[in-house]
Structure 1
C-alpha cells in the first residue's frame, strides 16, 4: 500500500515538481489538496484523478484520518503553524525550504521536532541529497589536511523567471528574500561536504528591485573545523555566463567541482604536493544523473516512513536551521559593515 499525501499549496512548484514526483513514486499517492483560493485547488486536482478530496480549511487537511503525509508548500512564514497542526493531529509533514521566515520561527520548529520524535518533520531541501556531496567527501579524503575553499555561484538576472510575479518573491517575509530562498540550496551543498559554518564576515547588495530584497552575497567563512573560505552567491547581474564551482584546497592536493549549467558536472581531483617526492596524479569524474529534481528526497522520505527508520533523512529541521542561520548571520554582518558574526545554533 502507498501512503496518502495531502498537498497544501498548489502553486507553480507543487504543479511542476511535487505532483509529477508523487505520481511516479512507489511510496506515495496524491490523495487530496488545499489552497486558500479553492479554484486553484480545484484546477490542481483536475491534473490527477487520484486526488479525490479538496479541503475548505488548513485544519481540515490535518483532521483527515486518511492522510499519511502533509506535503506543505506554503509561504514559509506559515510553516510554524502547519507544524503545530501536524503535532495536534499526529501527522507527518514535509515543509518547503527555507525552514521558516526567520530564526525565531526556525528555532520553534526545531524545538517542536525534538519534543515530538514520534513524528517525521522533514524539510524539502533536495540539494542535501546530491550525489556530488558523497563524491566530494570521498575526493577530499585524498588531499591531506584541508585548509580552504572557494564556493562561487553567480549569473545574469533571469527576467523570465516564473516566480517573479509571486507575492512571496515580490514582498518576501523570509529574511534576505532571494538569498534565503535560493541561498539555502547552495549552503546545503557547501555544508554537506565541509560541515557547519562557525562565523561569517559578509557584504550584501540589492541589484534588482524585482528581487524584493538583497540579492547578492559575498562572504568569508570559518568552518567549525577551522577551514576558511569564501562563499559568493547571486544571479542578479547583467549579461554574463552562469558560473558555479566549488574548490577545496589541502596540503596534498585539491578538488575542483564545476557545476555550471550547459555541460556535465565534473569533479577534478589533483593529488600530490605534500612533499617534494609525493606521488601526484589527476582524476576527473563526471557526476551523472544528479538528483536535481525532488524525486530522491521523496524516495528517502518514503523509505523512512514505511520502514520507521529516519536515519537517511538528511534535511532535518536542525540541518535546515543551520542553512538559514548562515543567511541570518550574513545579513547581520553586512549591516555591521562586514563584522565577523557567529552563526546561531538552535
Structure 2
C-alpha cells in the first residue's frame, strides 16, 4: 500500500542504512505514518521501503538521487531529496546519514520548513555544531520549527532516573564519579562493516560516533562538565584515527571524575564491568546495563540504578545504608521519538535532544581527542 494518497500528515526517513532499518519499529511511538524514504541510491531506498512494509504494514514512497540502471535521469530528478522535501504532507524528517553528510541536509530540511530529528552526533566537530546551532536559533526556531538530536542514551529512562536521584540529593553533594565504557570491535562487526565508519572522514572514528552516547548520559546525570584533560591513543590499526581516550573531568558543581572510553578491548570479556559510579557526601549510586524481565516474565535489557544513601556523622562515621535498586527497560529510541513529537505538537518540551546539549557532548569528545595532557576549558570551547 502506497502512503501518498492519504491527506494525513506524515514523516520521512532521510537515509536508508543499517540503523534506519533497525529503528523503524520505534516509529510506532509516533502518531504519524512513515510516508516516504530517501537514500542516495534507488536500491537502498527501495530496500528500506520494503522493510517498512514488513515491519509497519505500509510501503513509504521511494526517493533517491542515483537510479537503477534501467531508470532514466528524468525519473531520478522527480524522485530527488528536494522533491521529497517539497511535499506538503510531510511535516517532519528523521535524518540518518553519515556524520559529515548530515549538516548540509539538516540545513536543507529546515529551509524547506520541516521539523527535524537528526541522528547523533550533532556535527563532526564543535565548529560545525556551533554554526548549525546559530543558524537554527537565528532563522528557524523563531518560526516554530523543531530541531532535536536523536540521542537514545540521553532519553533512556534509567539515566534520566539516575540524574533525578542526584538532583534530589539522594546521595548528598556529588564529590567524584567514574564512567567506564570499554568496547570490543573486530572487523566482523556489522557496525565496522559500514563503509563510512571503516574509513572515517571525521575526528575520533568510533569514539565520536559512539562516545557521544556516554557524554550525553553523563550530561543528564551530573552538572555540566567545564574542564577536561587527558590523552588519546590508537591501539587497533583498523580503528583510526583514535580508539581510546582516558580523561579527567571537572563539573560546574566542583565534582571531579574519570571517563574511560575505548573500542580497543582485546576480547569481549573485558567489557564486563562497564558502568557509572557517582559518589556523594551521603552515599553513592551505580548505573549499569543489565538483564531484567518484563511483566510477562520475558528477559529484556534494562538500565539498573542502585542508590545507596547513608547518614554520615560529624566525625565522618557512616551509619546504616539504605539501598534502593530499580530496573528501567531500555527504550531510549522510542523515548526520543515521543519527546520529539511532544514538542512538535506543542504539548511539552522535556529538554531532551536539545542541539545545545548535543553540542556539549561533541565538545567533551573533541577535547578528549585533542587535549594530550593540556587543560581544555569546555565553556570557552563551545561559547
CA RMSD of aligned residues (A): 2.1
**Of 344, 350, 358, the match for 1:305:** 344
Deviation, structure 1 residue 225: 1.7
Asked if 1 retains the 8 angstrom alpha-carbon contact of 2:232 and 2:370, the reply is no
Matched, 1:59 2:79: no
CA, structure 1 residues 58+159, in 2 after alignment: closer, same or farther (shift >3 Å)? same
Deviation, structure 1 residue 229: 0.5
Report the Cα distance in structure 1 between the residues aligned to 2:148 and 2:8, rounded to whole angstroms: 18
Structure 2 match to 1:122: 148
Output one character per residue of 1:288-335: Cα deviation in whole Å (capped at 9) or x when no partner.
31324x1111112222222x145124111101000001111111202x
Report the Cα distance in structure 1 between the residues aligned to 2:26 and 2:96, rounded to whole angstroms: 14
Structure 2 match to 1:5: 11
Structure 2 match to 1:113: 136
Matched, 1:20 2:25: yes
Name whichever of 111-120 and 249-258 sits farther off: 249-258
Name whichever of 129-138 and 74-83 sits farther off: 129-138
Report the Cα distance in structure 1 between the residues aligned to 2:313 and 2:280, rounded to whole angstroms: 9
Structure 2 match to 1:272: 311
Name whichever of 263-272 and 136-145 sits farther off: 263-272
Deviation, structure 1 residue 223: 0.8
Report the Cα distance in structure 1 between the residues aligned to 2:240 and 2:52, rounded to whole angstroms: 34
Report the Cα distance in structure 1 between the residues aligned to 2:47 and 2:305, rounded to whole angstroms: 43
Deviation, structure 1 residue 231: 0.5
Asked if 2 retains the 8 angstrom alpha-carbon contact of 1:245 and 1:260, the reply is no
Structure 1 match to 2:119: 96
Deviation, structure 1 residue 78: 2.0
**Of 267, 273, 281, the match for 1:251:** 281
Report the Cα distance in structure 2 between the residues aligned to 1:80 and 1:317, rounded to whole angstroms: 12
SS in 1 for 2:382: coil
CA, structure 1 residues 212+166, in 2 after alignment: closer, same or farther (shift >3 Å)? farther
**Of 80, 103, 106, the match for 1:83:** 106
Output one character per residue of 1:190-216: Cα deviation in whole Å (capped at 9) or x when no partner.
111102111111111112233232111
Asked if 1 retains the 8 angstrom alpha-carbon contact of 2:304 and 2:325, the reply is yes
**Of 34, 37, 49, the match for 2:38:** 34
CA, structure 1 residues 81+274, in 2 after alignment: closer, same or farther (shift >3 Å)? farther
CA, structure 1 residues 186+84, in 2 after alignment: closer, same or farther (shift >3 Å)? same
**Of 312, 328, 342, the match for 1:288:** 328
CA, structure 1 residues 82+187, in 2 after alignment: closer, same or farther (shift >3 Å)? same
CA, structure 1 residues 119+16, in 2 after alignment: closer, same or farther (shift >3 Å)? same
Structure 1 gap segments, 5+ residues each: none
Report the Cα distance in structure 2 between the residues aligned to 1:129 and 1:322, rounded to whole angstroms: 16
Matched, 1:323 2:361: yes
Deviation, structure 1 residue 279: 4.5
Deviation, structure 1 residue 258: 2.9
Report the Cα distance in structure 1 between the residues aligned to 2:185 and 2:199, rounded to whole angstroms: 18
Asked if 1 retains the 8 angstrom alpha-carbon contact of 2:9 and 2:32, the reply is yes
**Which one has the largest radius of gyration?**
2
Report the Cα distance in structure 2 between the residues aligned to 1:112 and 1:202, rounded to whole angstroms: 32
Output one character per residue of 1:262-283: Cα deviation in whole Å (capped at 9) or x when no partner.
9854333222325346653231
Asked if 2 retains the 8 angstrom alpha-carbon contact of 1:3 and 1:28, the reply is yes
Name whichever of 255-264 and 109-118 sits farther off: 255-264
Output one character per residue of 1:26-85: Cα deviation in whole Å (capped at 9) or x when no partner.
422111011111111112112234334222322222112111111110112122211221
Name whichever of 24-33 and 47-56 sits farther off: 47-56
